[in-house]
A and B are shown apart, each in its own frame.
Chain A
Amino acid sequence: MRSDTSMAPASGRTWRDRIHTQRNRRILAALYVANLVAMLLATWLVDSYWVALPFGALWVALMVLTTLSIRGITNEGSVALDEQQIAFRNAGYKDAYWIGVGVAFVGGVLMSALSDSDTVFEVGLFIGAWGIVTGLPTLIVAWTLPPEVDDEQ
């Protein structure tokens, strides 16, 4: 946020500093999507609700880490952000809208096509699509934010 301007020297960086690098942000975003796809496959292959549990736990952890990696700008109100953060946050939500519409459409078509299939997979599909759509603004910002700068001269 605006007041969070502290950066440790490169040699003494903590994990909370390293999580903001563009590479790590993109890794987290990719893991987030991969985890939901894996959950979807697992619910397709295994006819048990319990199979989704570890993926769900990992989903929560990845959501928290991805949000931390972008300094929480998609969850903050405008008062707590500066204009650059607001611009990237708004662009993330704007881009997420159309991708979300596409995901919802494909998910809806799949759900209706699979209406006679097993319920576990349907629930997995619903949770997977919901997880993607709710996380999209954060994922887009995590992917599109430029590499960060150090506070050197």
Chain B
Amino acid sequence: MSSSRKGDGPRIHTRLPMLRVERDISRKQLAEQVGVHLQTIGYIERGEYTPSLELGLKIAHVLGLPVEAIFSLEPFAPLDADALTSR
């Protein structure tokens, strides 16, 4: 991943808002843990900004997940479908 504004690079899909809320972490807390401004987290969540690989890995580390569980070039399948196929 190379960092870019919306429209400047490939569209990156993210589950970050859901994963962050699941872990009861605010944008501000996540921003402080990965060393960025809280607006950066907000822009990433809304698809307005694509994070660098370094920031993506830092976010993945804080959330305790592999980076591909948070960001994807393809739209994520709905969660219920994930749950069904994993049974």
Q: Taking beta carbons and an 8 Å cutoff, which residues of A are in contact with B?
A: 1-2, 4-7, 71, 82-85, 87-88, 91, 144, 146, 148-149, 151-153
Contact = CB atoms under 8 A, between A and B. Distances in A.
A91 B28 contact: no
Interface residue range, chain B: 20 to 34
Contact of B26 (A83, A88, A91, A151): A151
Contacts of B61: none
Nearest to B44: A84
Contacts of A91: 5, 8
Contacts of A85: 37, 40
A148 B35 CA distance: 18
Nearest to B25: A153
A152 B52 CA distance: 24
Q: Secondary structure at chain A's binding surface: helix, strand, loop or mixed?
A: loop
Given A146-B6, A149-B42, 17 more contacts: A1-B37, A2-B36, A4-B37, A5-B28, A5-B31, A7-B38, A82-B37, A82-B40, A83-B36, A83-B51, A84-B3, A84-B39, A84-B43, A85-B37, A146-B49, A148-B39, A152-B26
Contacts of B49: 84, 87, 146
